[in-house]
Structure 1
Amino acid sequence: MAACIANSRSESTSSSAFSLNPNQFQKSSSSCRSKFCISPSLSNLVSCKTINRGGKKVSIEDHEDELWLKIREEASCDLEQEPILSKYYYSSILSHVSLESALANQLAMKLGNSEVASDALKEILLSVFAEDQEVRRAIRDDLRAVRERDPACLSYVHCLLNFKGFLACQAHRVANKLWSQGRTVMALLLQSRISEVFAVDIHPGARIGRGILLDHATGVVIGETAVIGDNVTILHNVTFGGTGKVSGDRHPKIGDGVFIGAGTKVLGNITIGEGAKIGAGSVVLKDVPPKTTSVGNPARLVGGK
């Protein structure tokens, strides 16, 4: 099934795939109980991702639509409990025809300011989402990671709209793409706005895998040459920084499936092995072997693998 990334300037008036409005969604939600409440016509939604880039329309198919349909279903059902939110849910989710479009809109609204208009930011976000399939896959993997691994997450909608760790991570993915393209000025501007709005400071040069959970996220700092693997969980006030003694490649490398406790500082070009756990408040200055637990200041291994 195809999803859609619509041009940010025409999207709000071009929802030809479904001609519904906030009042209709509010009415339809009244019949929603424990099961999905989504218009039958939406189950057959087939359209294409389109975006204006350089005066040309670019179309991209994305067959990973099931998660997006699930999000729309959750949103419609939420309106049964809180119909007063119909306008907000419509503008944030139900008026969009793809996960990427809704995410770009959400990020642009939060990160835009008087100096950088939300519309301009949305164009940039949509452009990256449209051209990079890996970013699109990472968005979905991150959503699933938060839903599965964070017991406080009530739904995919809850994550998409309210979890600043998830939002900061997706904005960083765009900044990282711009950085790799040599668009350093825009990448650094995005980094600055992400830090100001979400209290998460990730250098656009840092590389982050998929299935990432930034739980609470406040105070997370990730340096330029840091590399983070897949399925990593990072709690609040974590720093992946340098020691201040070297330049160049100076930040940690975090393996797949690592868990980093709150308040941890991992400093220097060291490796945290796959599946390792770092206890809260630890200061890690040396390599940590795979599938081990390290705690303390300075951190030391405890127990076996």
Structure 2
Amino acid sequence: MRHEALSDVSQEPILSNYYYTAILSHNIIESALAGHLSGKLGDSSLPSATLYELIMDVLTQDQEILTDVKYDLKAVKERDPACISYVQCFLNFKGFLACQAHRIVHKLWSKDRKVIALIIQNRVSEVFALDIHPGAKIGRGVMLDHATGLVIGETAVIGNNVSILHNVTLGGTGKMSGDRHPKIGDGVLIGAGTCVLGNVRIGEGAKIGAGSVVLRDVPPRTTAVGNPAKLIGGKENPIRLDKIPGLTMDHTLHISEWSDYVI
């Protein structure tokens, strides 16, 4: 990221102070991350300097979070065609930043520091326009694309290498208490505007089309679309894709095509 930052500054010298503060003045990524997040999230009730010390304390005590951060950076760079560099993701992609802030508050939550976790989570919600409960568990290599309107409930679990677009809800049905939120397997793609409700399981490698409402389990490596969502392919429901207008048997839906196939 330092190399990319220097390149950006050479093209836009007006940004030199900003890049120095955010990236170039730091020798380690945890310091840069703590500084950037605290600058965005600090307010009168929790000043940036206090928040910086709190985030640094969490990061230095748990190196696994830093590993997750690196996997998330790589995931965004590889999966989002709008991401032109790691440094742009780190500085500007609010889905990435909100995910890292969640990793901090989840660690605080798990250590029974729930009051401070909820205060920071509320600030994250205000700044980044999404709501991830501190109790939710999120794996590594996660891409929250755009992220505006994203809602993830307290007992939700998200696996590794998952991609979630904007306006997605991983919520409860309002009819259950306790473990009441979705469990998302590794490698799942969830399209924009989707609601997954209740303690349902989305199997590994499954794809959920944009605008779908999922109320039941979705098997691994299966595609589900519609309201309520129905399977359109996979080992447990081998409906031929050539039954969908415009698709052939060997057609693979690009992420940008999901909105065309909402039922």
Residue 126 (structure 2) pairs with residue 126 (structure 1): no
The 2-side partners of 1:163 and 1:80 are apart by 22
Task: Give the structure 2 partner of residue 196 of structure 1.
Answer: 126
Q: 2:22 aligns with which of 81, 88, 92?
A: 92
In structure 2, the gaps of 5 or more residues are 236-263
The 1-side partners of 2:164 and 2:212 are apart by 13
Q: 2:41 aligns with which of 102, 108, 111?
A: 111
Task: Give the structure 2 partner of residue 77 of structure 1.
Answer: 7
The 1-side partners of 2:233 and 2:140 are apart by 29
Q: 1:261 aligns with which of 176, 191, 195?
A: 191
The 1-side partners of 2:5 and 2:38 are apart by 20
Q: Secondary structure at the match of 2:170?
A: strand
The alpha carbon displacement at 1:115 in A equals 1.3
Residue 151 (structure 2) pairs with residue 231 (structure 1): no
In structure 1, the gaps of 5 or more residues are 1-70
Q: 2:81 aligns with which of 125, 129, 151?
A: 151
Q: TM-score, normalised by structure 1?
A: 0.76
Q: Secondary structure at the match of 1:257?
A: coil
The 2-side partners of 1:99 and 1:227 are apart by 26
The 2-side partners of 1:278 and 1:135 are apart by 28
The 2-side partners of 1:191 and 1:131 are apart by 20
The 2-side partners of 1:73 and 1:287 are apart by 45
Structure 1 stretches of 4+ moved >3 Å: none
The 2-side partners of 1:114 and 1:186 are apart by 14
Q: TM-score, normalised by structure 2?
A: 0.89
Percent identity of paired positions between Structure 1 and Structure 2 = 70
Q: Secondary structure at the match of 1:294?
A: strand
Residue 117 (structure 2) pairs with residue 187 (structure 1): yes
The 1-side partners of 2:34 and 2:73 are apart by 15
The 2-side partners of 1:287 and 1:303 are apart by 14
Q: Deviations over 1:277-302 (max 9, x none)?
A: 00000000000000000000000000
The alpha carbon displacement at 1:303 in A equals 2.3
The alignment of Structure 1 onto Structure 2 pairs a total of residues equal to: 235
The code of the aligned residue for 1:125 comes to I
The code of the aligned residue for 1:271 comes to R
Larger Rg: 1
Task: Give the structure 2 partner of residue 167 of structure 1.
Answer: 97
The 2-side partners of 1:303 and 1:157 are apart by 38
The 2-side partners of 1:303 and 1:250 are apart by 27
The code of the aligned residue for 2:55 comes to L
The 1-side partners of 2:188 and 2:234 are apart by 16
Q: Deviations over 1:200-237 (max 9, x none)?
A: 20000000000000000000000000000000000000
The 2-side partners of 1:94 and 1:133 are apart by 21
Task: Give the structure 2 partner of residue 283 of structure 1.
Answer: 213
